[in-house]
A and B are shown apart, each in its own frame.
Chain A
Amino acid sequence: MAKVTVRMVGVAKEAAGTSEQTLTIPSNANVSTVLQTLIEKHGDTFRDAILDPSTQTPVSTIILLNGVETGNLQGLDTPVADGDTIVLLSVTHGG
């Protein structure tokens, strides 16, 4: 098993009710696994906050793995390792 830290900014934070948490995930997990774990933990409101309603993909959420945007790596298939930090940054905020 691996432990990862997840930080959330914006709508994702509001939906989860917390700005930071530690998750325990399988050792062969990837970014997609982390999102699924978070959705199972925080429910539909959280899912709707981070995933597009039609495609169920995070088109309006920037996901950073150790400071690198996952679109710059292997997207949702990017492997996640013990000690990694993931940031979920909502693109649409108030203003």
Chain B
Amino acid sequence: MTQPPPCTRCGRPSAYHRPYSGERLCNPCFTDTIKERVQRTISRHDMLQYDSRIALGVSGGKDSLGLLKILTEIEEDHPNAEIIAISIDEGVTGYRDEALTIATDACKTLGIEHITTSFKTLFGLTMDEIAASPRELATCTYCGVLRRRALNQAARELEADRLATAHNLDDMAQTALLNLMRGDTNRMATLSPGGHELTGFVRRIKPYCDVPERESAMYAYLQNLRFQSLPCPYAAEAQRNDIRNFLNRMEKKRPGTKFTVYRTALKLAPQTHTETAGHCNSCGEPTTNQTCRTCQLLEQLQKKG
């Protein structure tokens, strides 16, 4: 068999090559670097306090389960900090069921409190029903807006002071390009991984933002994490898919592209988030508009239906 070169860190035979940094890493060193990177991201963006009450969105996918494991390990050194996992059942038959079971089992194994809420309970509709309705927008648009609302609401009810999500580097770079292609520079501010303090919103943090999706998958595999294997049946509709394929090809050709796109987007983002939240005229939830995006989308669906 072809012998791999030595690990850049420890000299043992390597198992993984990072083209963007030139590192070749054995499995233990690879695993260490992922945790170290998350710790650096948390520190650099001042994401957590020693006593933070962290609500973590856990979908049952590789990213959220990897982040759950790493945050749980970090929390062991901070006994006053707490993690509560939140799963949202969007109501996608045959897809979310598997993931929710996986999320529940993972939380049980790690001893993490876990709550589940659903689109049906909160909004009276499942994603299957939304997907089958006459509508103007892609399913992912509805799902993204409703999930953000559901997570914020659940985190607020749990009195969490941070809402962590497991967006990885690929997610961030894709969002950056999507915003650019839509000419929406204001939304670049949402890429800020440390989040913003805004009345009514639990501060959102993205500690996994410097972990490429490829490495997230490798980490989950090496940690023997059981994670959801199926992609969402509605994902093919999303413009994000085209961007994902494009960025993957560019990364292969020009390693480091995803980091560059994301870092550049952060430079373009408004440096301060100056919007002040009011309350939605319809539901009373915090919003920067008169009617929140959730109510706008739900009203559109009702009118079309």
Interface residues, chain A, with chain B CB atoms under 8 Å away: 9-11, 13-14, 52-55, 57, 59-60, 62, 64-69, 71-74, 78-79, 81, 84, 87, 89-95
Contact = CB atoms under 8 A, between A and B. Distances in A.
B143 interface: no
Contacts of A71: 16-17, 19
A33 to B, nearest CB: 15
Interface stretch (B69-77, B227-235, B268-276, B297-305): B227-235
B61 A95 contact: yes
A62 B249 contact: no
A92 B227 CA distance: 11
B210 interface: no
Given A79-B1, A89-B221, A94-B230, 20 more contacts: A11-B229, A13-B229, A14-B230, A52-B249, A55-B252, A57-B252, A65-B1, A67-B15, A69-B17, A72-B24, A78-B2, A89-B218, A92-B244, A93-B227, A93-B230, A94-B98, A94-B229, A94-B232, A95-B62, A95-B99
A66 B27 CA distance: 13
Contacts of B1: 65-66, 79, 81, 84
Interface of B: 1-2, 4-5, 13-17, 19, 24, 27, 59-64, 95, 98-99, 166, 213-214, 217-218, 221, 227-232, 244-245, 248-249, 251-252
Contacts of A64: 15
Contacts of B166: 95
Nearest to B59: A95
B146 to A, nearest CB: 16
A62 B214 CA distance: 8
Contacts of A60: 214, 248
Contacts of A54: 245, 249
Contacts of A81: 1
Contacts of A59: 248-249, 251-252
Contacts of A11: 229-231
30 contacts: A9-B221, A11-B229, A11-B230, A14-B230, A52-B245, A59-B249, A66-B1, A67-B27, A68-B14, A69-B17, A72-B5, A72-B17, A79-B1, A84-B1, A90-B217, A90-B229, A91-B213, A91-B217, A92-B244, A93-B62, A93-B230, A94-B60, A94-B95, A94-B231, A94-B232, A95-B60, A95-B61, A95-B64, A95-B166, A95-B227
